[in-house]
Amino acid sequence: MNVKRKPVAVIGFAEALSAAEVAWSLVDAGFEVVGFARKGRDCALRHSRFVSIREVTPPEANAAECVEDLIEILNELSAGTESCVLMPLDDSAVLLCGRLTLPANCVSTGPQKRATDVALDKSLQLTLAKEAGFPVPGTARVEVARDLLKRATTFPMILKPAEAVMLSENRLAKGRNWICANEVELQKAAKTWNGRYALLVQPLIAGQGEGVFGIATSRGVKALSGHRRLRMMNPHGSGSSACISQPVSGELRPSIEGFVRRAGWMGLFMIELLRDAAGTAWFIEFNGRPWGSMALSRRQGLEYPAWAAQVAKDAAWDLRDPAPAERELVCRNVAREFLHLLFILRGRQSAAMNHWPSFWRSAVDVLRMSRRDRLYNFRRDDIKVFLTDCYCTIREQVFKPRQREART
């Protein structure tokens, strides 16, 4: 008599910031969780007692081999189980998983076909956001250095890749951002970039970062929640080191639903906003996969990963909107809080940063703990994950290898 295993969830890359929280959400929902990780790279999830890890060729070295490795893993794991769910955790996985032909009993929570473009093409996102009614910063797309110097005339500005991740010479690669306060900084950025990939040029807007999270189903957008950043790991601009929950304002809902509808989106999503001093919430970008602050969502009882897996398995499943959180919660990444202080000590890297945090005031904020504070990637019965995550996060920032940038 053949006994089928319980449902399998395959998640990756295991190095993603959200990996541990996603894994625990799926484990608690009854899944056997398998993570795929780059060969030779340590990560916190490798030390989990609840998750097994399969290695794949790093896509930065050979994207085609990475895809072949993923197909082999999915074919093996989907055999003998009632269902298999693939969940890409970061932009690199979104691109690669969107190219896979899945086994018959395997479904993906990630985007397919045109929706993959929505997840990765920042130019397309800005167009959809404007059509949906979001305030969108004035943006110019440039592809050669002379156009950058010609069209970038208002300082300060920010330069960012037009695509979240790119395939270049069968290797996955990312671009980088620059903040430019003046002509000298712009010339330096232009020389480094040198037209290797398309750039978006936008005015640098001062404000506070916010995030809106939800899941798009056949019954509409469900389980909306929000947060605002208290601190970023790098004050120049990065993921948060501490964030606080907040409700989603009614004024944003029509634009959120309009964006999702225009994009034809299904599944998890996060919309990043920047609220300026006048109260305008500017659209920054759309992320079509689990987000870094998943810990805060889960501390509020919002099990987005488990819900996304259920929706992928059964599009007609009725996800009821959860009750709103009773109080504000703060979630903090211990390693990123420490790195936040190191970035402050290093000092500003652009004259555009007019307001640089005080080290001592920041140190007091980082060291102050309250009863409403929670921690990223912390679970008492899987404590090695938390400890390893702290170590790996600090090590990777302090001894950060040179990241390969896309070339065209």
Residues 357-399 have pLDDT tens digits of 888 998 899 999 888 899 999 999 999 999 999 999 999 888 7
pLDDT at 324: 66
Structure confidence at residue 406 (pLDDT): 59
Please report the pLDDT score of residue 278 as a whole number. Answer: 95
**pLDDT on residue 407:** 55
- Would you call 285 helix, strand, or coil by DSSP? strand
Alpha carbon 331 to chain centroid distance? 16
- CATH 3.40.50 location in the chain: 8-108
Q: Considering only CA atoms, which of 76, 73, 77 is closest in space to residue 6? A: 77
Ranges in the chain annotated CATH 3.30.1490.20:
138-203
Query: Residue 403 carries which DSSP code?
Result: P
Which pLDDT belongs to residue 4? 56
Q: Specify the pLDDT at position 398.
A: 81
Report pLDDT for 328: 87
Residue 357 CA, chain-centre distance (Å), reads: 25
CATH architecture, domain 138-203: 2-Layer Sandwich (3.30)
Q: Architecture of 8-108 per CATH?
A: 3-Layer(aba) Sandwich (3.40)
d(CA 4, CA 62): 34
C-alpha distances out from residue 2 to 5, 81, 82, 331, 335, Å: 9, 10, 12, 44, 46
For tokens 């703990």, the residue is 369
Bridge partners of residue 268, in order along the sequence: 215
The verdict on pTM exceeding 0.85 is yes
Instruction: Write out the residue limits of the CATH 3.30.470.20 domain(s) in the chain.
Output: 208-377
CA–CA–CA angle 320, 6, 76 (5° rounding): 120
**pLDDT computed for residue 256 by the predictor:** 97
* Residue in the block written with tokens 């890359």: 13
Q: How far apart are CA 6 and CA 30, in angstroms?
A: 7
DSSP string, 72-138: HHHHHHHTTBS-EEEEE-SHHHHHHHTT----TTEEESS--THHHHHHHBHHHHHHHHHHHT-----
Confidence (pLDDT) at 408: 47
Q: What is the pLDDT of residues 103-156, one digit of tens each?
A: 988 999 999 777 899 999 999 999 999 999 999 999 999 998 888 888 777 899
Nearest C-alpha neighbor of 303 from the set 380, 223, 240: 223
| 3-class secondary-structure state, position 11 | strand
Q: Which CATH class is domain 208-377?
A: alpha beta
| Residues of the chain with confidence (pLDDT) below 50 | 1, 408
CB 308 within 8 A of CB 279: no
Q: What is the pLDDT of residue 1?
A: 42
